[in-house]
Chain A
Amino acid sequence: MADANGDGATVEVDKRELPADPAWDAVAEGADPPPPAEAPPAEEPSSLVTLAPVRLAALGVALVLVVAITFVRLFHTGPPSVDKLRSRAGVDSWSELTIGVKDDQPGVAFHDRKTGIWSGFDIDIAYMIAEDLGFRRSEVRFYAIESEDRARMQATDPGGGRIGVKMVIASYSITAAREAMTGVTFSAPYLYTEQSVVTLAGHPKVSTLDDLRGRWVCTLSTSTSETAPEAAGANVVRRNKVSECFSEIRDHRVDAVTTDAAILAGYKAGDPQGLAHWDLGLDATEAWGVNVGENTALRDLVNVTLYRSLKDPKDHRWEDAFDKSLQVEAPASGPTPVAVAQQPDVPKPDVRQLPWEGSAITTGAWSFGRRGEPGQNRSYQ
């Protein structure tokens, strides 16, 4: 490539090939380019000449495309990848995953203090999310959380101390008012249920909330179930835990307990003879979501898991959790619906590649949690 014959010597041209212009060969073999001179235009075959302007346009198109595609490839990175979301959410720096859950709602989230085992639908959803985030079951820490603390994400540890959690999965209904609060970011919904009411067996039939006008009705404080009985003229008693409401109804201090059917069905299933579960015929749907505080990257990761559970035909984790915890309660509640037996729709998360569709490496990261030790769903030590 170097100008080896830069002394300007010309090289003899091979006459046998009758080249179009001997000057080319001289330059090709290292001679200096000749000085510009007026030369008659070369005689061109017609096909070459007529297409010349079209070729110029084609060359222009090619150059524009090269510039555009290079720019897009270098600077337009598109939606984030799951790895990027993990890094933004800070998941990689957590040695354990702390989750705020209810501890007194059989079928939804219940902590058996004798065995230390957590069980219920919310617990299984929590394990599903933790698994996709790469946490083994023994690395998931559940802490009891009261209804009023769900927005602040402050749970209680066994010693009674306050502890911040990374996410709240505690029968927390998605509402516009809650979403507008500081520090509340909901994932897509993971369960649809509705408000219903439980009375002691032998209570006259309750068909609507109007049947409870003037009666004492217990419900959870800061819950979506407060407004409807109040509007119907019932005397509302608010408690922080649903178990306190059931203590009151058993002591005949209140006439009924109203909240989401999925919560009440667990109590009904535990005492089928002593309690009656009534459908209120309300059309409002309670959509439960996961609160991740202000960690929007974590919300996207939770949505990826929910979307996977919804769309991946091989993923039965949601269905298994529903069958195990809520479907078994349905017979005890009779005609009163417990919850919608189908996973709510989840919009497609905006990530570069969905983990179960991708390469071996990414899929591997997502199957990590499945190696977790089975049956270790115990509470913190």
Chain B
Amino acid sequence: MTAPVAATSARRRRVQLNWLLTVLPAFPLVLLVLRLWYLSRQDLPTMLLLVQYISPLGMISALFITLIWTVPAVILVLRTLGGVLLVSAPSPADATRSLLAVTALRMPDWVVALAAVLAGFTWQLRLLPTLLMLVVAIIGLTAVHRRRRGQEAVLVVVTLGVPIALGLLILLWMWPGIVAAVSAGEITTALLLVVPPILGPLLTGPVPPWAARLATHWPAVVAAVVAPFVVGIVFLRAPVLPNSAVEVASGAGRPQVVRGQLITVDDTATTVLERDGQVTFLPNSQVRSKTLCPEPVRPPDSVVVVRGWAVGESALQWVAPTRRVTDVDPRCLGRPLNPG
């Protein structure tokens, strides 16, 4: 009697998964449309105008650059939590009731390795201890899960020796940053640098079987529900149109500066979306000059630097060339280039 019921519920789960996989690709699309709606300040005509002129490729580029770091985060967290569940559950049948465990089990190792490398480049320095914690946890959990008889010594090295040694190395390397974070009163930065190396050796094996599902499956479910909102908030803050300042003058009057986001320029007018959401069409004959304004950068919320590397910078940002803006154009401050 039990077996047919279980088979039916398994089939139902599979059907639900198929629906999930169908809906998933729609998520980026929803994000893009929401971003435009947000940009147009909920005004439908403005949004339609934006849809007409904004290149989808540009939006997707913005989405990609802004959210690239989330891909390895999802993969690594899934694999870690799923790994804990796999090694902790009393039986394979019990573990694989959870989609989390099944996903972790089916996830190829090279995907995890690629995700770790991607995270190494795109995560901020302050998140790298967390990345290393996840990596040692995954290695340890994988070793425990695939262990063979007579390999206990190897297991101890992988689950305790390696994580402890790596944790100590990280703490040693990060020490100046930890001291700086504590003295600057940045508690979150200090926690992010200190706690993961300590937790690393403790996430490499099973938890008590009775708590396995509670500690892994349900947090993953909550994260899956919350993640779209977090990702949405992050993406809604990302710029999708260039910030510009346009100097206009009609007749002999003093030039005025219109600041906002440049939507398009055609043969009659320059279309600008001003900061308050208003769309302005400036006749090209009145346009005196245009300039691109640097993005108002969110100043880093941390002043901590570890051995010359700011904790808010990722390795990619550190390596990639940046444009050093040394002067700000007065037009970007709303004042004409040549007052007079």
Contact = CB atoms under 8 A, between A and B. Distances in A.
Contacts of B296: 83
A52 B336 contact: no
A113 to B, nearest CB: 23
B207 interface: yes
B145 A35 contact: no
Interface residues of A, number: 76
Nearest to B160: A47
A342 interface: no
B97 A20 contact: no
Contacts of B199: 58, 61-62
Interface string B78-106: 00000010111011111011000011011
A55 B93 contact: no
Given A48-B205, A52-B207, A368-B330, A18 B149 contact: yes
Contacts of A135: 335
A359 B299 contact: yes
A39 B299 contact: no
Contacts of B219: 63
B105 A69 contact: no
Contacts of B56: none
Nearest to A24: B92
Nearest to A74: B233
Nearest to B192: A69
Contacts of B299: 81-83, 352-353, 358-359, 362
Contacts of A96: 335
Interface stretch (B6-14, B61-69, B175-183, B261-269): B6-14
B195 A28 contact: no
A353 B303 contact: yes
Interface string A39-53: 101101101110111
Interface stretch (B27-35, B39-47, B321-329): B321-329
A271 interface: no
A132 B208 CA distance: 61
Interface in A262-295: none
Contact of A37 (B91, B144, B147): B91
A1 B188 contact: no
Contacts of A12: none
Interface string A368-380: 1001000000000
A150 to B, nearest CB: 27
Interface stretch (A87-95, A156-164, A178-186, A194-202): A87-95
A141 to B, nearest CB: 11
A6 interface: yes
B26 interface: no
A365 interface: yes
B314 interface: no
A34 B102 CA distance: 11
A81 B97 contact: no
A42 B91 CA distance: 8
Interface stretch (B113-121, B151-159, B166-174, B278-286): B151-159
Contacts of B301: 78, 352
A35 B300 contact: no
B206 A48 contact: yes
A116 interface: no
B327 A368 contact: yes
A48 B159 contact: yes
Given A3-B14, A18-B149, A47-B156, A23 B103 contact: no
Given A23-B92, A37-B91, A136 B203 contact: no
A60 interface: yes
Interface in A79-122: 81-83, 91-96
Nearest to A363: B326
Contacts of A61: 195, 199
A139 interface: yes
A32 interface: yes
Contacts of A60: 215
A337 interface: no
Contacts of A362: 297, 299
Contact of A33 (B97, B230, B298, B330): B97
A144 to B, nearest CB: 22
In the complex, the 3 A-B pairs of residues with the closest C-beta atoms, listed nearest first: A35-B6, A33-B96, A58-B202
10 contacts: A1-B21, A2-B21, A27-B105, A32-B7, A33-B10, A55-B84, A69-B191, A83-B296, A92-B333, A136-B330
Given A35-B6, A54-B202, A74-B230, 4 more contacts: A20-B148, A55-B84, A92-B259, A353-B300
Interface of B: 2-3, 6-7, 10, 14, 17-18, 21, 84, 86-88, 90-94, 96-97, 102-103, 105-107, 144-149, 152, 155-156, 159-160, 188, 191-192, 195, 199, 202-209, 211, 215-216, 219, 230, 233, 257, 259, 294, 296-301, 303, 322, 324-328, 330, 333-336, 339
Interface of A: 1-3, 6, 17-21, 23-24, 27-30, 32-37, 39, 41-42, 44-45, 47-49, 51-63, 65, 69-70, 72-74, 78, 81-83, 91-96, 134-136, 138-139, 352-353, 357-362, 364-365, 367-368, 371
